[in-house]
Amino acid sequence: MRDIDVLIDSDRGSVLHPFTQLKDFATGKSGPPTIVTGGKGIRIQDATGRSYIDGFAGLYCVNIGYGRTEVAEAISRQAHALAYYHSYAAHTTEELAVLGQRLVRMAPGKMSKVFFGLSGSDANETQAKLVWYYNNLRGRPQKKKIISRERGYHGCSVIAGSMTGMSFYHDYMDLPFAGILHAGVPHHYWGAAPGESEEAFSRRRAAELDALIVREGPDTVGAFIAEPVLGTGGLTPPPKGYWREIQQVLKRHDVLLIADEVICGFGRTGRDFGSQLYDMEPDLVTVAKGLTSGYMPLSGAIVSEKIYSVMEEAADRVGSFSHGYTYTGHPISAAAANAVLDIFEKEKLTERAEKVGAYLQRRLRESFSSVDIVGEVRGVGLLAAVEFVADRERKRRFDPALKVGARVSKAARDRGLIARAMPHGDILGFAPPLIITEAEVDEIVAIAVEAVNEVMDELAREKR
Ligand code: PLP
């Protein structure tokens, strides 16, 4: 092992870290970087020898847990046999061909083909191009606008970053791009009028979407993109009836549905895909994260028969499908994905997420629902959030300067639990590996309770 201080200096001097306050990092105010050196099961270890429960599975991706030698061996086998070949002009590899068929078969909706990329962002970028391509091929060159939702998260590249519906991902970066619009977020706790039921709130959100499409002109709106369960924007399951109402509006105006399954896909919600939980019938499906459990970078834009048939039909007229990356269908990533999907199937991780997820949801509600600074405990499967508020009665948020969510997350971390302070509001997020046991859920909840108590005590002292 190299000297830790040398590594810290070298990292600080050279790496531009995502989502990091640059000055605090450069000056050391926010502390040294955590050098992560190993992982096993639901735990990771840092270079100082400290161990943490990873209650967020990296960035909601390490679904099979850390240290799975089966996947490491599959990666090694492929690297020895053939580390790279491209998939342009009808080249393929064994692992890619197998993976493509597996994904098309398991995906929600009537799917036909998968276009492979390396990140959720690039897959959503591909989805936008597919929407434009499809409508051009169908002779509807105006039907191009894409509607996403406030607080939706779809990535950080130019179009995917524009789809993301939080202003701090846009500020100073000249986003969002023209032609990407945002509809209202379906969060009943914050958005509903007093006494408004979940169903009525869903109908209202659908009516607003309808009005937005009519205002823009239905012949100019190509697609609606959404996560089945809102992720980074707050880990918020949809209110009752939401997806039924929304899909009726989309059908009425012939607007495609892109299901961004980057978090929900591969078991997280207790179904293989979030779309299945809410009876969504997407035209395009985005997958990444759980597809390889983060062991290698890989994403997919899965294309329905409805869209693909138009593309194939037009090929004599328009020539090749001119989109692709050097690493599209990378064989090592495909080998990792096949090994991960083997584990996913063999260990029935979807059923496990449903069962242990129900336990997590129950334990969090029992522990936090009546805590003074908790406004809402929510989630589905192994995706959960505790949202903190200054005033439960009046539903008033804390002053953002108090950084309550970040402080609870830090207090948990100091006790050996990684639970993420979500970027929008004061929210503590949980998305552990799907292999987690009920006993490990108990450990997570016990630490989270201590962390919340510590911050509540601090806030009470600061008030005096
Ligand atoms: N879509 C969703 C729903 C996500 O949660 C994320 C990342 O968190 C992305 C897309 C972007 O994926 P990536 O960070 O791999 O570009």
Check if 148 has its Cβ closer than 6 Å to any atom of ligand 1.
no
Check if 146 has its Cβ closer than 6 Å to any atom of ligand 1.
no
Q: How far is the CA of 197 from the centre of ligand 1 (A)?
A: 31
Give the pLDDT confidence score for residue 248 in this predicted structure.
98
Beta bridge partners of 287: 300
Q: How far is the CA of 368 from the centre of ligand 1 (A)?
A: 28
Ranges of the chain whose pLDDT falls below 70: 1
Give the pLDDT confidence score for residue 280 in this predicted structure.
98
Give the pLDDT confidence score for residue 1 in this predicted structure.
55
Write out the chain in H/E/C secondary structure. Answer: CCCHHHHHHHHHHHCCCCCCCHHHHHHCCCCCCCCEEEEEECEEEECCCCEEEECCHHHHCCCCCECCHHHHHHHHHHHHHCCCCCCHHHCCCHHHHHHHHHHHHHCCCCEEEEEEECCHHHHHHHHHHHHHHHHHHCCCCCCCEEEEECCCCCCCCHHHHHHCCCHHHCCCCCCCCCCEEEECCCCHHHHCCCCCCHHHHHHHHHHHHHHHHHHHCHHHEEEEEECCCECCCCCECCCCCHHHHHHHHHHHCCCEEEEECCCCCCCCCCCCCHHHHCCCCCCEEEECHHHCCCCCCCEEEEEEHHHHHHHHHCHHHHCCCCCCCCCCCCHHHHHHHHHHHHHHHHCCHHHHHHHHHHHHHHHHHHHHCCCCCEEEEEEECCEEEEEECCECCCCECCCHHHCHHHHHHHHHHHCCEECEECCCCCEEEECCCCCCCHHHHHHHHHHHHHHHHHHHHHHHHHHC
Which residue is closest in CA terms to ligand 1's atom 7?
155
Domain ranges (residues) in the chain: 34-64+348-463, 70-346
Give the pLDDT confidence score for residue 293 in this predicted structure.
98
Q: What pLDDT, in 10s, does the model give residues 114-123?
A: 999 999 999 9
The CATH class, in words, for 34-64+348-463 is: alpha beta
Give the pLDDT confidence score for residue 2 in this predicted structure.
72
Mutate to test the pocket of ligand 1, among 63, 121, 286 (most ligand atoms within 8 A of CB): 121
pTM for the structure as a whole: 0.98
Check if 121 has its Cβ closer than 6 Å to any atom of ligand 1.
yes
Give the pLDDT confidence score for residue 145 in this predicted structure.
98
Q: What pLDDT, in 10s, does the model give residues 375-395?
A: 999 999 999 999 999 999 999
The CATH class, in words, for 70-346 is: alpha beta
